[in-house]
Amino acid sequence: MRKLASAIVVVACLWLQACAGLPHRAPEPARPLVLISIDAFRADYYDRGVTPRLKALAEGGARGTLRPSFPSLTFPNHYTLVTGKVPDHHGIVANNMYDPTYPGANAAPALAWFDKTKNADGVWWREAKPMWTSATQAGLKVDVVFWPGAQAENDGMRVDYAPDFQKALDSRGRADLLLQRLDQPKRPDVFILYIDAVDEAGHKKGPDSPEVNTALAEADAAVGHLLDGLKARGIDANVIVVSDHGMISVSKDRAVYISQRLGDVPPDLVADTQIPSFASKDPRYDLVYYGAVAMINPRPGYGDALDKALIRTKPDHMQCWHKGDIPTRLKFGSNARVPAIVCLGDPGWQVGGLAPLGTDVGNHGYDPDTPEMTALFIANGPDIRRGVSLGRFDNVDVYSLEMKLLGLKPEPNDGSLKIVGKALRK
């Protein structure tokens, strides 16, 4: 018997050693997770009475409002929602940006929201690990429709499904892409959906327009369509619906132009053709981003002129800082991708370069404490308490809820469960 017992112990030890070398796979979540973003769904849009499916979802679960991270732009805040890190820490500091670690000052690769090839380049997204990468590494199946960054490889992993962005595809069509995946032999454990109809209408027609209400109804119907499809297939999921930021009315008459602050362009200066199409045509500086917030890199020999024009003279309707002097509460400026000077327009004011700003009558990117930037949060499902009001909290906290619902250990992040954890049943 002793010999037999010893043999069993030896075999058990060898088995444990072998298993120790296998990659860790977390148990499948008790419930699938559905994460939906309705871009630019301002928190008070909920009260317009045109989103009955979202209203029912909120009343049957938890509701709050989100303080976006600075800058209150689409790419930075979508990555915050799935990493729990502020943009300064996850590296997506704007919708368009340079990375100075690449060789060549002006020829540096530049991320641009309109360039799907660069959006899928993992180099831009490598400074933080998103929820979907952790889930994939744990053996969970993840399908993502159009969420920024989802096509990129991260930590050696890619999600199971992340189709190319199709701008013309309406909200219901995007939901259908996920529903089609439910009929695969192995259903996804995590469903992630991005809807931008409300953002499009808000920019083009303004937040108070009938077109925004129409877009809200479209997005609401798409959410309902997706949830109905899950129910028809017997899938009882935890659902989180969020937005990245709000929207405020703007006008081309409420604008500050950097080139006007500097004075006329000297005739002997020739525009640098290496400057990306989204940047300023004024060769004295690179305008990496413009709008509610502007991000500027002075060209050689013009640093002092820009300091005088933008910082020392304190122009009306905007505040400008060197990246190292940005107010601490904005948690921005330490990342290498943040340009040398950052200017923030007063609410409703925009900052441009040389060329006139476009015709948009709605915008975002402002101070996160601007009421119109406040975003939507709703959670519902078997693991979510009913009738919970969370109030306003930082959007870095949403990631912690996602990871808790998936049963995964979160990566180091800037959020917590202190507030959003009150939505959990246990």
Which of 65-74, 165-174, 250-259, 262-271 is least confident?
262-271
Q: Are residues 286 and 419 in the same domain?
A: no
17, pLDDT greater than 80: no
Look-up of token digits 């399908």: 143
Q: Answer for the pair 310, 343: CB distance below 8 angstroms, yes or no.
A: yes
Question: Could you tell me the maximum CA-CA distance found in the chain, to the nearest angstrom?
Answer: 98
Look-up of token digits 């250990």: 409
pLDDT bucket at 30, cuts 50 / 70 / 90: low
Q: Are residues 285 and 142 in the same domain?
A: no
Q: Are residues 371 and 391 in the same domain?
A: yes
Q: What is the pLDDT of residues 370-399, one digit of tens each?
A: 999 999 999 999 999 999 999 999 999 999
Q: Answer for the pair 282, 312: CB distance below 8 angstroms, yes or no.
A: no
DSSP β-ladder status, 238-242 and 33-38: parallel
344, pLDDT greater than 70: yes
Q: Are residues 80 and 142 in the same domain?
A: yes
Indicate whether 112 belongs to any domain. Answer: no
Sign of CA dihedral 126, 128, 129, 131: negative
Indicate whether 311 belongs to any domain. Answer: yes
pLDDT bucket at 111, cuts 50 / 70 / 90: confident
pLDDT at 27: 52
CATH number of the structural domain spanning residue 190:
3.40.720.10
Q: What does the pLDDT average to over 140-154?
A: 96
pLDDT at 114: 63
The larger pLDDT score, comparing residue 18 to residue 361, is at 361
Q: Are residues 292 and 203 in the same domain?
A: no
pLDDT at 107: 45
pLDDT at 269: 63
CATH number of the structural domain spanning residue 266:
3.30.1360.180
Q: Are residues 394 and 417 in the same domain?
A: yes
Could you give the percent of the chain with pLDDT greater than 90?
A: 77
Measured CA to CA, the distance from residue 380 to residue 425 in angstroms comes to 11
pLDDT bucket at 101, cuts 50 / 70 / 90: confident
pLDDT bucket at 109, cuts 50 / 70 / 90: low
Q: Terminus-to-terminus CA distance in the chain, angstroms? A: 47
pLDDT bucket at 10, cuts 50 / 70 / 90: very low
412, pLDDT greater than 90: yes
- The number of distinct structural domains making up the chain is 2
Q: Are residues 276 and 318 in the same domain?
A: yes
Indicate whether 120 belongs to any domain. Answer: no
What angle (nearest 5°) sits at the alpha carbon of residue 290, between those of residues 111 and 287? 70
Q: Answer for the pair 26, 407: CB distance below 8 angstroms, yes or no.
A: yes
Look-up of token digits 């088995």: 15
Q: Are residues 65 and 169 in the same domain?
A: yes
280, pLDDT greater than 90: no
329, pLDDT greater than 80: yes
Which of 147-161, 232-246, 255-269 is least confident?
255-269
**Residue ranges making up the domain that contains 207:** 33-91+127-248+367-423
Of 359, 381, 397, the last residue of a domain is 359
Q: Are residues 86 and 210 in the same domain?
A: yes
Indicate whether 28 belongs to any domain. Answer: no
Indicate whether 106 belongs to any domain. Answer: no
Q: What does the pLDDT average to over 284-303?
A: 94
Of 340, 359, 378, the last residue of a domain is 359
Indicate whether 395 belongs to any domain. Answer: yes
Measured CA to CA, the distance from residue 316 to residue 298 in angstroms comes to 21
Of 341, 359, 377, the last residue of a domain is 359
* Residue 385 dihedral angles phi and psi, to the nearest 5°: -70, 150
Q: In angstroms, what CA-CA distances link 229 with 178, 226, 350?
A: 10, 5, 42
Average pLDDT, the chain: 90
108, pLDDT greater than 80: no
116, pLDDT greater than 80: no
Measured CA to CA, the distance from residue 265 to residue 128 in angstroms comes to 40
Length of the chain (residues)? 426
The larger pLDDT score, comparing residue 426 to residue 415, is at 415
Measured CA to CA, the distance from residue 297 to residue 100 in angstroms comes to 11
210, pLDDT greater than 80: yes
Q: Are residues 47 and 133 in the same domain?
A: yes
| The token pair that represents 140 in the structure block | 């969970």
273, pLDDT greater than 50: no
Q: Which residues pair with 344 in a beta bridge?
A: 293, 319
Q: Are residues 275 and 346 in the same domain?
A: yes
Indicate whether 102 belongs to any domain. Answer: no
Q: Are residues 315 and 209 in the same domain?
A: no
Q: Is 254 helix (H, G, I), strand (E, B) or coil?
A: coil
The larger pLDDT score, comparing residue 109 to residue 79, is at 79
Q: Is 62 helix (H, G, I), strand (E, B) or coil?
A: strand
Give 113-179 as a DSSP string: TT-HHHHT-GGGTTTS--HHHHHHHTT--EEEES-TTTTS-BTTB--SB-PPP-TTS-HHHHHHHHH
* Residue 321 dihedral angles phi and psi, to the nearest 5°: -140, 150
Q: What does the pLDDT average to over 327-338?
A: 98
pLDDT bucket at 267, cuts 50 / 70 / 90: low
What angle (nearest 5°) sits at the alpha carbon of residue 130, between those of residues 60 and 288? 110
Question: Is 0.85 topped by the overall pTM?
Answer: yes
Indicate whether 178 belongs to any domain. Answer: yes
Q: What kind and span of H or E run contains 388?
A: strand 388-394
Q: What kind and span of H or E run contains 67?
A: strand 62-67
Q: Answer for the pair 216, 47: CB distance below 8 angstroms, yes or no.
A: no
pLDDT at 97: 87
pLDDT at 264: 80
